[in-house]
Amino acid sequence: MKTDLPKVLHRVGSESMLGRVVRNLREAGVADIIAVVGYKAEIVESLFKDAIRFVIQPELLGSGDALAHAVDYMAEGEGTVLVTCGDTPLIESATYKRLVQAHRKKKSSCTLLTSEVEDPTSYGRIIRGRRGEIAKIVEEKDSSGEEKKVAEINVGTYCFRKTDLKRHIRDIELNEKKKEFYLTDIVDILTRGRKKVLSAPCDPEEALGVNSRKDLAEVNKIINDRTIDKLMKSGVTIIDPATTYVDGSAVIGRDTVIYPCTVIESDVKVAAGCRIGPFARLRPGTRLAGGAEIGNFVELCRAEIGEGAKVKHHTYLGDAKVGRNANIGAGTITANYDGKNKNRTEIGEGAFVGVGAVLIAPVKVGKNAVVGAGSVVTKKKNVPAGKTVAGVPARMLSSKKK
């Protein structure tokens, strides 16, 4: 990865890889999660100390050694242990559930997740016997010419009968080539001991692990594609999925149309029938009511846009509330940050803000009020309902008739 950040803290969507793995495990019904950490462990622990337990691996001697340290912290007695990797964030909660259910139903000693992939390079291969039973897992560096051709790979996620895991985890021997203890070797140990070892399939996409920045980009694309596909199936029109990013936590109402090169981040809620983009960015905390229109090169941050309101061109609205049917002219800016605090701007129902206006928060523009083009409305100089202001700084225009 060529990074100073622990790999599992790199983000996929709006979550870290580890955060996504933990969330999916929770959704699958896993109550007690232990993370084995080594490199910069204190950073990982500080972010997840209230969610999971931690075990330190003093020396980075491979996955078998990592799990050997973890078993000492597991409760005694019967049970099922699910082992997975912190850098495989695409495995869904439903897949974890299926794995556990298959393991318990078949009463196996170990059930591992496998997948058939087009290019198995760098993955451990599943080697099966004459009757199709799993015989062993062979790592890439240890595989022969024929074994390299095997397309079925080990995903790195397992279910173990706890008693068998505890009994045999320390039977794994040091691999002399890499000077590591391979967790995969436990499969060979169990099969030689006539223990039942089975497999459960998963989608090749879910098998992807992240070991480079290129892998990270690929995983992010897959997650975004899943989100886009889900939205389109729910009744959202996305003109060009290839250039549109929508965070998985965003809520988008049906019959909304999203134009190309739009970015919709986490904690965004969009009601039905909105128009967004092209080249729009909706940042966290943004809310759009029904029929709102957000045009090209508009950035919204913690902004509430009312029903039927229009924010069409080259505009930044931060910490703002815009009333229904208001019109925000091109180039409008809410200056929400004073160097110390983020301040709020409120624009009333039916208000009209002219092109190039700057609203310096905190400030309010009343219902049906008008702000002239190029005006600067200074902080706390509220514009009364139905009134018109213009100038730099903005002043109220006289309503007297000649």
Q: Are the beta carbons of 373 and 329 closer than 8 angstroms?
A: yes
| Tokens 């000693």, located at residue | 109
Q: Which two tokens stand for residue 198?
A: 């089975």
Q: Are the beta carbons of 251 and 235 closer than 8 angstroms?
A: no
Quote the CA–CA distance of 123 and 401 in Å, as a whole number. 82
Q: Which of 103, 168, 313, 314 is catalytic?
A: 313
- CB-neighbour burial class of residue 289 (10 A; exposed 0-12, middle 13-18, buried 19+): buried
Quote the CA–CA distance of 240 and 238 in Å, as a whole number. 6
Indicate the angle between helix axes 17-27 and 41-48, nearest 10 degrees: 40
| Residue 10 is a catalytic residue | no
Phi/psi for 222 (5° steps) reads: -60, -45
**Bridge partners for 138 per DSSP:** 125
User: Comparing C-alpha atoms, which of 147, 141, 212 is closest to residue 178?
Assistant: 141
Annotated catalytic residues are: 313
